[in-house]
Amino acid sequence: MRDSVEVKARTGGAELERVVYTAERIAERVAEMGREIVDAYPEDEEILVLGLLKGSFIFLADLVREIARPVTIDFLVASSYGAGTVTSGEVHLLYDPDAVLEGRHVILVEDIVDSGTTMNRLIPMMEDRNPRSLEVCTLLHKHIATDLVREPRWVGFDAPREFLIGYGLDHSENFRNLPFIGSLKAPE
């Protein structure tokens, strides 16, 4: 898959700067995270996994299969980015889950924490619904945000401050289907 011809078939010819995390490395880390999550909750207690679409869809699909616990799954759609690579600062909730959060162990699953704006807006909204516990699990953390209302409890990788794509992460809705995570070449 890292063969450049196959990559080009999925990027429409756009060039990557480099592969940052291979599919194998991601799979290993996601399996570990599943075990860390299992260890954090009492054996018989159900977990509600709330995925933030769209970026988390592949991570979440892999992660929940590594959680050996009763799990229910729902999604939130929040949008903060337009077509660009820089956050607009606004977070719109486009889809709000039917799932009841009250009294439940909730894990909010993010693809990447960048400026922290999305998390900082969502956490208070979710807290208002009185979950029994609320934790954040993110695949990537750029450690740029200095004012996070809550540090993610589980972080897959401390990510470089580059624009990352693949494994669910997009640029203008492209590249989500790359099985690895790469960084995009900055436009000349």
**Positions marked catalytic:** 114
Say which entry of Mg ion, ligand IMP, none residue 62 contacts (CB below 5 to 8 A, set by partner kind): none
> Given the rule CB under 6 A, which of 69-77, 97-105, 128-136, 158-166 is the region that contacts ligand IMP?
158-166
**3-class state of residue 162 by DSSP:** coil
Which of 16, 26, 47, 55 touches Mg ion by CB under 5 A? 55
Report the length, in residues, of the chain: 188
In the complex, the smallest distance separating the C-beta of residue 160 from ligand IMP, rounded to whole angstroms, is: 9
To the nearest whole angstrom, how small is the minimum distance from the Cβ of residue 114 to Mg ion?
Answer: 10
Name which of 51 and 69 has its Cβ closer to ligand IMP: 51
In the list 21, 81, 154, 157, the residue contacting ligand IMP (rule: CB under 6 A) is 81
d(CA 29, CA 115): 23
- Any contact of residue 168 with Mg ion (CB under 5 A)? no
Cα-based angle 106, 112, 118 (whole degrees, multiple of 5): 65
> Which residues between 103 and 122 bind ligand IMP (CB under 6 A)?
110-118
- b/e map 27-51, b = 16+ CB within 10 Å: eeebeebbeebeeebeeeeebbbbb
Token readout for 73 is 């799954």
